[in-house]
Structure 1
Amino acid sequence: MVFSKLFRRPATPAPRIPDDIVVYAIGDVHGRLDCLDDLLGQIDADPARGGRRPVLVFLGDLIDRGPESRGVVDRVMAMRAASVDVHCLCGNHEELLLSAAEGARQALGVFARAGGKETLLSYGVDEAAYEREDLKGVQRLIAGHVPAAHLDFLRGLPDQLVVGEYVFVHAGIRPGVPLDAQKSSDLRWIRSPFLDHVGRYERFVVHGHTVTQDPDIRANRIGIDTGAYRSGRLTALVLDGDTRRFLSTALSAGNYAAAA
């Protein structure tokens, strides 16, 4: 027993971010501007931040399904323009809108089934007019109602962000592939084999995309898509040095602790 204790493999140190910042990673908003405003208020009031710089990372899927996609994009664009410490990644729903705007037939079909109607209604499209349109008509509605500035903003979003020993992506990464060789299709869409992988990645992964009731905390990743569009629970992961905690719109206390 003494011998085994002497030669036991040491515990893996928790990943860290730089000490001069606190990172707030925000899960899939999906048009819930009410949840976003609530969560941003909690972030602004977070007493643990002290004098350190807050760095906000939106994990993508700002749009679709919820009722106020335009308002969410407006809010994030304004925040991004005001601060270099606000980042936003491209999700699969942003990709769908951009591809649909370019007339890709498959994307137009998926966009219509995946909450695109709610997005276009938030941009002022009449619901009855939407229902009358075929796929090409939906493309025309996008062109006529979604501002070019919004499409340009979404088109310029990156697929990943590295901060300290963490990498932030929308959906996940493909196991065994270096970060600089990952494909956009995986970063925006992957589920399995990413979700099933138990080995270490090049960096600890923070992602959205796959809905879980509570944050999905694993040894190599944390998922924070808690289905805000239907649950009202929009979650932010707070990274502070080598510690982690969460803020949520779903809990009356506003936050709860989680095991590192």
Structure 2
Amino acid sequence: MPSNPRTRLQLDPGDMPIYAIGDIHGRLDLLRQAEQAIFEDASRLPGRKLIITLGDYIDRGPASAQVISHLMQPVPDGFDRISLTGNHEMMMLDYIDGKMSYDSWMMTGADALLHSYGIDPNQMPGLFRTASKRDAFIRDSLPKAHIEFLRSLPILLDTPAVLFVHAGIDPARSIDNQQDDDLVFIRHRFFESDLPLPKLVVHGHTPVDQPDVQEMRLNLDTGAFRSDRLTVARLWQGEVRLFST
């Protein structure tokens, strides 16, 4: 499901503490809890701090629209935030752009997203005689500012010691030659490869019961939409601290 190439960011954060947040999936309540924990933890640390959200803000959970609105707002003084795209954001845009069918989109948990915008998918058959009219209604009903925000999200943040990305990378390719689809969809070729990774990869996408801590990768997707656990990693001075809601 290819989309337009996404922006890839490079940053040298120096000694800045970085907080990475796993897959949110419409759980604004957990995002607020995680942020409060971040703010309390960061109050004991010097200088500016960076929050990185790893994608999949929408679908499955009850408040996709509200999560997007929240991420569009400024962060408190002393913080910066970078929101990366996930595969669910890209699939939403593929539906909007006519690259994905409505039925395929609904299979990703997008019914919950529509409910968060006040649209009931169960009423669609009775309201619209054709699929094209239904699709046009949905596309016209979604806030343009939200769509533009999702289109603007970068797909990767590369720092000297850590790579932040939604799903992982293809270990057979250099960082510069990664394919967008792999960065948001990859699983087995990333997890099962014997090839060395170029640096620590912090990611989500594949739900796990507990954060999966490996020598060169860290999976923060603890299935927040069903587990009530949204996981955060603090990376600072070569150490990682994990905490969850």
TM-score, normalised via structure 2 length: 0.87
Establish whether residue 246 from structure 1 lines up as the match of residue 242 from structure 2: yes
Residue of structure 1 in register with 2:204 after alignment: 208
Residue of structure 2 in register with 1:4 after alignment: none
Whether the 8 Å contact between 2:47 and 2:78 is mirrored in structure 1 is no
Whether the 8 Å contact between 1:68 and 1:119 is mirrored in structure 2 is yes
Whether the 8 Å contact between 1:22 and 1:49 is mirrored in structure 2 is no
Q: Secondary structure at the match of 1:79?
A: coil
For 1:248 and 1:49, how far apart are their aligned partners in 2? Answer: 18
Residue of structure 1 in register with 2:230 after alignment: 234
For 1:31 and 1:137, how far apart are their aligned partners in 2? Answer: 27
Q: Secondary structure at the match of 1:97?
A: helix
Residue of structure 1 in register with 2:187 after alignment: 191
Identical residues among aligned pairs (%)? 38
Instruction: Tell me which of 99, 105, 115 is aligned to 2:109.
Output: 115
Amino acid at match of 1:40: E
Which structure 1 residue ranges, 5 or more long, are not aligned? 1-16, 250-260
Whether the 8 Å contact between 1:20 and 1:53 is mirrored in structure 2 is no
Residue of structure 1 in register with 2:6 after alignment: none
Instruction: Tell me which of 34, 39, 48 is aligned to 1:39.
Output: 34
Residue of structure 2 in register with 1:124 after alignment: 118
Residue of structure 2 in register with 1:171 after alignment: 167
Give the 5 Å matches for 1:1-260.
18-46=13-41, 49-79=44-74, 85-106=80-101, 108-130=102-124, 132=126, 136-249=132-245
For 1:84 and 1:50, how far apart are their aligned partners in 2? Answer: 12
Amino acid at match of 2:216: N
Q: Secondary structure at the match of 2:190?
A: coil
Amino acid at match of 1:116: A
Aligned length: 232
Q: Which range moves more in the overlay, 92-101 or 18-27?
A: 18-27
> C-alpha root-mean-square deviation of aligned residues, in Å?
2.2
Which structure 2 residue ranges, 5 or more long, are not aligned? 1-11
Runs of 4+ in 1 over 6 A off after TM superposition: 80-84
For 1:116 and 1:191, how far apart are their aligned partners in 2? Answer: 21
By how many angstroms is 1:204 displaced?
1.1
By how many angstroms is 1:109 displaced?
2.8
Distance 1:156 1:219, change over 3 A: same
Amino acid at match of 1:117: D
Amino acid at match of 1:189: F
Distance 1:161 1:47, change over 3 A: closer
By how many angstroms is 1:82 displaced?
8.2
